[in-house]
């Protein structure tokens, strides 16, 4: 089984090398490819990524200008080859060792997508704004789609490769999370959650999502509930 790890990157020179090292330190029994999409970084991130160009297990995609995380993920999915695909942010908020928890939860199940839930596991340094914002958006998801998720906005989502490559995704920014969740649920797939670890960072440390993205997420959840 091949796991495609899609990493959207934008101005992450302080952490991108460390997250790659964490992935590289995983057991070699995990057959993986890294698809790194640089979203027009201007802080020196791109120069760090160029040191990976000789690696056969890494595919680098450089965008000319910044167009958002969702757009980067669409490019990454399109260029993936894995039987399964997972999203990895380029910061250090999530722990790659938790991939195995998501992979174990598949256990031969068809039509199943695995979410790593921060609220079922251990989380640190999550600001009140992000805590209550995540809880609120997840509650709206549960009400609209008749599910009982605990963490809709989680980064760690494990998809069957053919499924994620077949979706017509439109979100270009942080509204990717509600769009993909809505389309997963409307497609008849079941979402299973497993506990993961999370170490939040502040906006001063590079966190990019804001309260404005929450309004876009609500709009997306409602829009995709009633439209294809």
Distance, first Cα to last Cα, the chain: 31
Domain boundaries defined on the chain? 3-226
**pTM score, two decimals?**
0.91
Model pLDDT, residue 7: 98
Query: Among the CATH numbers 3.90.950.10, 3.40.50.2300, 2.160.10.10, 3.90.550.10, which is that of 3-226?
Result: 3.90.550.10
pLDDT digit string (tens) for 38-85? 999 999 999 999 999 999 999 999 999 999 999 999 999 999 999 999
Looking at the predicted structure, is the pLDDT value of residue 211 above 80?
Answer: no
**For the packed helices 211-226 and 176-186, what is the interaxial angle rounded to 10 degrees?**
20
Looking at the predicted structure, is the pLDDT value of residue 202 above 80?
Answer: no
CA distances from 32 to 12, 27, 28, 172 (A): 22, 10, 9, 26
């Amino acid at each position: 089984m091949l796991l495609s790890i899609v990493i959207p990157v934008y101005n992450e020179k302080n952490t991108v090398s460390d997250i790659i090292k964490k992935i590289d330190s995983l057991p070699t029994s995990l057959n993986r490819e890294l698809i790194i999409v640089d979203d027009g970084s201007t802080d020196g991130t791109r120069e760090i990524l160029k040191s990976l160009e000789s690696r056969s297990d890494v595919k680098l995609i450089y965008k000319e200008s910044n167009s958002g995380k969702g757009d980067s993920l669409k490019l990454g999915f399109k260029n993936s080859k894995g039987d399964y695909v997972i999203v990895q942010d380029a910061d250090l908020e999530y722990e790659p060792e938790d991939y195995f928890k998501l992979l174990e939860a598949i256990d031969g199940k068809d039509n199943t997508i695995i979410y790593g839930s921060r609220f079922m596991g251990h989380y640190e340094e999550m600001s009140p704004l992000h805590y209550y914002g995540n809880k609120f958006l997840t509650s709206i998801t549960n009400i609209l789609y008749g599910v009982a998720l605990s963490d809709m906005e989680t980064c760690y989502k494990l998809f069957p490769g053919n499924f994620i490559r077949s979706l017509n995704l439109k979100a270009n920014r942080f509204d990717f999370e509600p769009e993909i969740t809505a389309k997963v649920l409307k497609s008849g797939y079941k979402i299973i959650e497993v506990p993961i670890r999370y170490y939040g960072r502040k906006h001063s440390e590079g966190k990019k999502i804001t309260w404005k993205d929450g309004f876009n997420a609500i709009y997306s959840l409602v829009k995709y509930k009633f439209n294809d």
